[in-house]
Structure 1
Amino acid sequence: MASITLNHLVKQYGDGFPAVNDVSIDIADGEFLILVGPSGCGKSTLLRMIVGLEDITSGDLLINGQRVNDKEPRERNLSMVFQNYALYPHLTVYENIAFPLRLSKGKFSEEEIDRKVRTASATLDLDDHLQRKPANLSGGQRQRVAMGRAIVREADAFLFDEPLSNLDAKLRGQMRAEIAQLQRRMGITAVYVTHDQTEAMTLGDRVAVLKKGILQQIASPRELYEQPANLFVAGFIGAPSMNFIPAHVRGEVFATPLGDIPIPAQAQGKMTQAGEIVLLGVRPEHFEDAKFVDEAKLPYGSVFETEFTHTEWLGNQQYGYIRYQQDEAVQAKLNELARDLDGDEMAPQLVVSLDASSRIRGGTQGRIWLDTRRMHVFDPETGDNLTRDVEAGAELTREAAEEREAEIERARREMAAAG
């Protein structure tokens, strides 16, 4: 396997537009890195630069410490799994998997080819389909064949370009689990492009969030979720998205459309002047029906009486929706954020998580509790997270790296024991 280093990579087209703009990332040997962002953010271009399908305008790309900017794709020993599978319809599953080995023109004997194909087939649960043609396979099976073709090459790293986007929701979930388990068992270095933040959060050791070709933040999924660097990352990561509430700083409180919120400890001293407007970032799960909040927790937040427009009951949980009067001072910034996130505008609406047994319903008043300890404060001009705890976030990513190394080691021991 391989480490991959991106040093200040830039991809500029003839019109001067930088599709990738000064991106630097160190990808460790055996790491699963996700490149994520909305359409047009440069993630697929960056992946194609790594594999050699796009020229690098400036910067250095290193594989295992060796500069490969000028090497042809076939000289980089990387395997790519494409969105459309790129299978040969006239070949059987067996021959599709064997194809890259046969291209080597005598490098492998028939016995070696057969061994490699059947090893990959057993790994991907394709033994019963080796004599079938791609047209007779399901989408998930075709994806596994494409992965099998990458496996037999014994490449230094696997690159995935939105490999699950053609599958339905159920198959995507199944294939996510299979890809994650395969990567852990083999200890392979993987770079995976997706616009689906659920894939990013469930698959990646680290996730690199891109916006308009610029790297916004790279961290473990948990650090991105709990300590986002800016408004864009906070709005992109998480489903439902983080709520952004306009607030004016007035003495010791934030004046918001919901009511006054005492400024919590993590925000003390972060604002420069009284009357300043900020955006409070609150995830849906940091709200709750006040009736279900323990007495001991109540002092660590604020309680509001508000009207709900409607609720959505999902069995194990439900969401409530609250409309409020938007502050014109931040509406333009929020609409800009919505466009960056592939939307049109950001409605003045809060999404709050409620206990599944809550009786709050649309058109009724309800008392909700907000855990202000978990609240972020953003500068609406720069988008910066004023309350980000850099060290706490870095610790989350360090823990994730240790867990990854331990998991890979366990997987290797299990493979060795199985023979």
Structure 2
Amino acid sequence: MASITLNNLVKKYGDGFPAVNDISIDIADGEFIILVGPSGCGKSTLLRMIVGLEDITDGELLIDGERVNDKAPRDRNLAMVFQNYALYPHLTVYENIAFPLRLAKGKHSEEQVNKLVTEAAATLELTDHLQRKPANLSGGQRQRVAMGRAIVRQADAFLFDEPLSNLDAKLRGQMRSEISQMQRRLGVTSVYVTHDQTEAMTLGDRVAVLKMGELQQIASPRELYEQPRNLFVAGFIGSPSMNFIPATIENGKLQTVLGDLDVPAEKLAKVEGKKVVLVGVRPEFFEDAKLVEESKLPHGSIFTATLTHTEWLGNEQYGYINFNPDPEMRELLNNLAREMDADELRPQIVVTLDAASRIRGGREAEIWLDTRKLHLFDPESGENLTRDAEAGAALTAEAGEERAEEIATAQEADRAQGHGTSDAGDGSTDNGQGGGKHAAAS
């Protein structure tokens, strides 16, 4: 296993456009890092730079402290799992998993190959499918074969390029769980590219949010959600996404389309001198005022609104409130939407209501908002003016401690079940076969 260090990495193509622009990340040994962002943000390019499939224009890439900028993919001892599985259709599952070991000519005896393949197959529940061909497998089984090939290489790190995007929603959920458990059992450093919110929030120890080739914030999923650094991160992370409401500050209150909101004095102090701010609030911090506990009422504001419609989901429901921002603010919201890969941010507020709420569309209702939880953003710079950096750092530190405990627990359970990891060489490959860079990285 290994640590991976990205020092000011830059990738420019022939036209001089920086697809990756000055990104620095320290990835600890055994850590699971997610790269997320809209299409074209540079996340896949960055992953390919790490594995060696893209040249580095500037900056340094270190694996366990060793500079590897000029090393070929086969010499970096990294295993990559591709979106399209990259399996060989004419080979059995057994031979697909064994392929990187066969390429390392003379490094593994047949007994070692068989041991590594059968152990990987047992880990991934593929034992009964070892003699089948990829064409006869489901999408989830093919992805397991691709992961099995990565496991037997005993690589220093796993790199995943949107591995679940070809699967249906139910299977994605199952495979998410399997990848998470496998990574904990093996304790292997992993870098995972996705555009899927759920994958990013459930898999990663830390998530790196990218926009137009630049790193916006890297933190634990919880820190990103609760303490986003800027408008982009706040809007991109979370589903439904954070609501953004224009507001002016007068007489110690926020004047918004929802009415005047009482806000804690410490939040207002951080926006002193600002005439206009964007209020950011998650849908779950709203509630039907009739259902709010009396002790919580003083910690928020009640406003009256007419919902266009509601969506009942069983355990909760969503309500929708339209509003009409001025042209300048509408353009700001639309620009933010384009950055997040959407056509526009509708001037609409999404509120989460208890499943028992009787509020319905077309009726005027009283809604309570927990004003302790809102964020205030500078509409010009996008900066989160009310971010508590110290509280956010504590959340990420806590996630790191939990990761170490989970890995130790998972490995102890694995040893108890007799699934220990074999040591049969470094699994390096010969680039003379198997499709050049692509095969060497997989």
Q: 2-side partners of 1:411 and 1:223: how far apart?
A: 25
CA contact (8 A) 1:246 1:327 kept: no
CA contact (8 A) 2:79 2:157 kept: yes
**1:204-283 counterparts in 2 under 5 A?**
204-273=204-273, 276-283=275-282
TM-score (norm 1): 0.99
The equivalent of 2:319 in structure 1 is 320
TM-score (norm 2): 0.94
What value does the CA root-mean-square deviation take over the aligned residues? 0.8
CA contact (8 A) 1:266 1:373 kept: no
CA drift of 1:109 comes to 1.0
Residue deviations 1:22-54 (CA, integer Å, cap 9, x gap): 000000000000000000000000000000000
The equivalent of 1:183 in structure 2 is 183
The equivalent of 2:292 in structure 1 is 293
The answer to which of 226-235 and 342-351 deviates more is 342-351
The equivalent of 2:308 in structure 1 is 309
The equivalent of 1:124 in structure 2 is 124
The equivalent of 2:392 in structure 1 is 393
Q: Figure out how many residues of one structure are paired with residues of the other and give that number.
A: 418
The equivalent of 1:366 in structure 2 is 365
The equivalent of 1:44 in structure 2 is 44
- Give every structure 1 segment of 4 or more consecutive aligned residues whose post-TM-superposition deviation is greater than 3 Å: none
CA drift of 1:367 comes to 0.7
**1:338-353 counterparts in 2 under 5 A?**
338-353=337-352
| Paired amino acid for 2:200 | A
**1:126-165 counterparts in 2 under 5 A?**
126-165=126-165
CA contact (8 A) 2:243 2:280 kept: yes
Q: 1-side partners of 2:262 and 2:288: how far apart?
A: 19
The equivalent of 2:435 in structure 1 is none
| Paired amino acid for 2:308 | T
Structure 2 counterpart SS, 1:374: coil
| Paired amino acid for 1:8 | N
Q: 1-side partners of 2:401 and 2:266: how far apart?
A: 28
Q: 2-side partners of 1:185 and 1:87: how far apart?
A: 24
The equivalent of 2:107 in structure 1 is 107
Identity, % of aligned pairs?
74
CA drift of 1:198 comes to 1.1
Q: 1-side partners of 2:167 and 2:365: how far apart?
A: 40
The equivalent of 2:434 in structure 1 is none
Q: 2-side partners of 1:111 and 1:251: how far apart?
A: 78
Q: 2-side partners of 1:347 and 1:413: how far apart?
A: 50
CA drift of 1:105 comes to 1.3
Q: 2-side partners of 1:200 and 1:351: how far apart?
A: 22
Taking CA–CA contacts closer than 8 Å with sequence separation of 6 or more, which of the two structures ends up with the larger relative contact order? 2
Structure 2 counterpart SS, 1:373: coil
Q: 1-side partners of 2:124 and 2:415: how far apart?
A: 18
Structure 2 counterpart SS, 1:409: helix
The answer to which of 309-318 and 261-270 deviates more is 261-270
| Paired amino acid for 2:8 | H
| Paired amino acid for 1:229 | R
Gaps of 5+ in 1: none
